[in-house]
Amino acid sequence: MYGAKVNYLDLSYNSIETLKGLEKFTRLEELILDNNKLADTVNFPFLPFLKTLSLNNNEITNLEDLVNNYNSIETLKGLEKFTRLEELILDNNKLADTVNFPFLPFLKTLSLNNNEITNLEDLVNKLCDAFPELTYLSLLSNKACPNQLSDLEKDESDYQRYRYFVIYKLKNLRFLDSRRVTDRERMEASARGEFMRVRRPTNDVIPNDPGSPELRARPLPLDLNALGKHKGAYGKCLYKYTGKHSEGNRFILNSDL
């Protein structure tokens, strides 16, 4: 009966391969199982009061009932069982734009650092539906997050626009990445965050066949004499001005004009 009174349990570094017997800890709120040998085949017991689950550095590749870092996780199937979960850390996995988040009404903290997420708008819409109480979110080292540390082509203005958009969509956020959401940011997000979404160009390729009906555009010729000797051309041309106010006019005869 002792297990029924325990609400915190740390079993890290124990080479654990099975969770047999854990079902006795019915009041468990925080469970730490880092650096063990848990794999996809592990049978996770029902823990109705569990709020924090840490499973860093195990051998999990497909998330059935398990959560956390360095596990090559690609799907969150089974996470819906943890309805009272308040904190979810999924850093350094393989979560991509196709991931679906289960509805977790009490979740307040979500960390998705260093995954494979590229579509910010799609992600934020999913988070709005799945986690209504979300107050802390971190998306660093994803392509969806234009941070200078992970993308040298981005600058602070890119990152600030990203913050305005996320804050506009997730009304309850207090922290985004490593920074607190300020009152000024919240005001700016309310005023123009809707227009800060990032639109990425598509990878559509224009066919090479000139006769193709899909070819809708044709580059202008570099040759000035091509296509009916059009004067406009796509290229650089150098013109010499010899107008009325040019000093060179003193040496130009009427026959040269």
Q: What is the pLDDT of residues 66-83, one digit of tens each?
A: 445 665 667 777 677 778
CA–CA distance, 22 with 149 (Å, rounded to integer): 41
Contact criterion met (CB below 8 Å) for 105 and 83 = yes
**CA angle, corner 78, sides to 145 and 15, nearest 5?**
90
Sort strands 136-138 and 109-111 into parallel, antiparallel or unpaired: parallel
Average predicted confidence (pLDDT) for the chain: 77
Q: Which residue has the higher pLDDT, 175 or 21?
A: 175
CA–CA distance, 82 with 134 (Å, rounded to integer): 16
User: pLDDT digit string (tens) for 137-171?
Assistant: 999 999 999 865 555 566 788 899 999 999 999 99
Q: Which residue has the higher pLDDT, 35 or 211?
A: 35
Q: Which residue has the higher pLDDT, 192 or 124?
A: 124
Measured in degrees and rounded to the nearest 5, phi and psi for residue 254 equal -60, -35
Beta strand ranges found along the chain (DSSP E): 8-10, 30-32, 52-54, 87-89, 109-111, 136-138, 175-176, 179-180
Q: Which domains does the chain have, with CATH numbers?
A: 8-64+73-195 (3.80.10.10)
Count CA within 13 A, CB hemisphere, residue 172.
14
Continuous H helices in 139-182: 156-169
Counting DSSP H helices and E strands in the chain, the numbers are 4, 8
Q: Which amino acid is present at 118?
A: T
Query: Region 196-215: what's the mean pLDDT?
Result: 57
Contact criterion met (CB below 8 Å) for 147 and 117 = no
